[in-house]
Amino acid sequence: MTIELRNVAKRFGSFAAVNGVSLHVERGELVALLGPSGSGKTTLLRIIAGLEYADAGEVLFDGEDAGDRDVARRRVGFVFQHYALFRHMTVFENVAFGLRVMGRAKRPADDVIREKVTALLRLVQLEPMAGRYPSQLSGGQRQRIALARALAIEPRMLLLDEPFGALDAKVRKELRRWLRGLHDEMGFTSLFVTHDQEEALELADRVVVMNQGRIEQVGTPQEVYDRPATPFVYEFLGNVNRIACTIIDGQVDLWGHQFSVETAERGRREGYAYLRPHDIEILTTSGASSRAHVKHISATGPVARVELAIEGVATPIEAELSRQQLDALGLRLGQPVLVQPRNVRIFPVDAAA
């Protein structure tokens, strides 16, 4: 099903948790809501689920206003950050819960419930655990039971709140891949909340970057990473060097390299240049570049990080290059080098605040 949000807003006291958000999610899409804590992403997810009500704006499912439907009637599969499993029930009963609380007219017979729950437990690969209690399961197993429980009511969409937040790195990676497979297989619309950029970029079809209750940018992982729309997205996604600069008539001089800013504004203005570490080229030969020297080299793993002190710039900048490049250059500490920025985005100061 499609989900459409129109100017959704929610305040808690004087705090604007969600501040006018509009978003369209296509059928079958897997969308990540990405942002720091307090950015309103979880509140937005809860509003879609009907666990929270928006003060203003509309929520539409398949073009139909869902505003007056409460959570019990939205048929939304919600997976909670801390799983929210019922401790006093076995794994089997947890998964069966949504079926057992159905009205008499709709409730399936006991043997149908048993069949269905068993099938779901098989789907999440935990069939042998049916008789256990949640306290006897590992974190990853609990997460999968929470998912099976949400799927039991045949939801029209799946909403996951920090689904991998409480798991260790290895389990997280496995579950991520498994969830992606499950999503593709079942074909429902899914939204998940995360503060982990790697998770969002790896798992989602589209990423919604949120900050202070607003959407900063919506796009495919590649779009938001390669072409961040705002300084916030630049800083939040991946590593970036932020360098103070001066914009004069839409032109910036960065260590002798000229860059233009998309602005009609004339005159002088302070700004920041954003420069990804892998967009910095280090040259040991002469060229039209500025003078710098190597301050620190960290070469563990496939990517080497080189800290460069640039003449006349207070904070060192970080460059990333492959191990082969590093070996080819033969960099040593203190060696003078030439630095050439490849891809720079410049934002005037007030936009970067």
Partner 1 sequence: MGFTLLYLSVIVLLPLAGLVIKASDATWPQFVAAAVAPRALAAYRLSFGSALFAAAVNLVAGVLVAWVLVRYRFPFKRVIDGLVDLPFALPTAVAGIALATLYGPKGWIGQVLGVLGIKVAFTATGVTLALIFVGLPFVVRTVQPVLQDLDPELEDAAASLGATPIQTFTRVIAPAIMPAALTGFALAFARAVGEYGSVIFIAGNIPMKSEIAPLLIVIKLEQYDYTGAAVVGVVMLSASFLILLGINLLQRWARIRQGEKS
Distance of CA 257 to the CA centre of its chain: 34
Rounded Cα gap, residues 121 and 140, in angstroms: 14
Please name which of 276, 273, 270 lies closest in space to residue 259, comparing C-alpha atoms: 273
The span of 48-56, 59-67, 219-227, 297-305 binding partner 1 (CB under 8 A) equals 48-56
DSSP 59-104: EEETTEE-TT--GGGS-EEEE-TT----TTS-HHHHHHHHHHTS-T
Output 80 or 225, the one with its CB closest to partner 1: 80
Rule CB under 8 A: is residue 1 a binding residue for partner 1?
A: no
Do 334 and 307 meet the contact criterion of CB atoms below 8 Å apart? no
By CB under 8 A, tell whether 136 contacts partner 1: yes
Is residue 104 near partner 1 by the rule CB under 8 A?
A: no
Q: Which stretch binds partner 1 (CB under 8 A): 7-15, 32-40, 92-100, 220-228?
A: 92-100
Stretch that binds partner 1, among 64-72, 238-246, 306-314, 322-330 (CB under 8 A): 64-72
Rounded Cα distance, 124 and 110, in Å: 21
**Under DSSP, is residue 255 helix (H, G, I), strand (E, B) or coil?**
coil
Nearer to partner 1, 72 or 244 (CB): 72
Ordered DSSP codes for 125-146: T-GGGTTS-GGGS-HHHHHHHH
Q: Helix, strand, or coil here: 190?
A: strand
Phi, psi of 4 (to 5 degrees): -130, 130
Shortest separation between residue 99's beta carbon and partner 1, angstroms: 9
| Interface map 150-169 toward partner 1 (x if CB under 8 A) | x-xx----------------
Q: Is 291 in the site for partner 1 (CB under 8 A)?
A: no
The answer to whether the CB of 316 falls within 8 A of the CB of 295 is yes
**Ramachandran bin of 130, using left for φ above 0, alpha for ψ from -120 to 50, beta for the remaining angles:** alpha
- The window from 128-136, 162-170, 224-232, 274-282 that contacts partner 1 (CB under 8 A) reads 128-136
Residue 172 Cβ, how far from partner 1 at the closest point, in Å? Answer: 20
Of 100 and 180, the one with the shorter C-beta distance to partner 1 is 100
Q: Which stretch in 100-108, 187-195, 241-249, 264-272 sits in contact with partner 1 by CB under 8 A? A: 100-108
Least CB distance to partner 1 at residue 135 (A)? 6
Are 229 and 58 contacting, i.e. CB atoms less than 8 angstroms apart? no
CB of 270 to partner 1, least distance (A): 46
Instruction: Name the helix (H) or strand (E) containing 326.
Output: helix 323-329
Residues in Cβ contact with 72 at an 8 Å cutoff, skipping those fewer than 6 apart:
none
> Given the complex with partner 1, which of 131 and 181 has the nearer CB atom?
131
Buried b (16+ CB within 10 A) or exposed e, 209-230: bbbebbbbbbbebeebbeebbb
Residues 68-87 that bind partner 1 (CB under 8 A): 70-73, 75-78, 80-82, 84-87
Q: How far is the CB of 352 from partner 1 (least distance, A)?
A: 37
Q: Is 51 in the site for partner 1 (CB under 8 A)?
A: yes
Could you list the residues that contact partner 1 (CB under 8 A)? 49-51, 70-73, 75-78, 80-82, 84-88, 90, 97-98, 100-102, 132-136, 149-150, 152-153
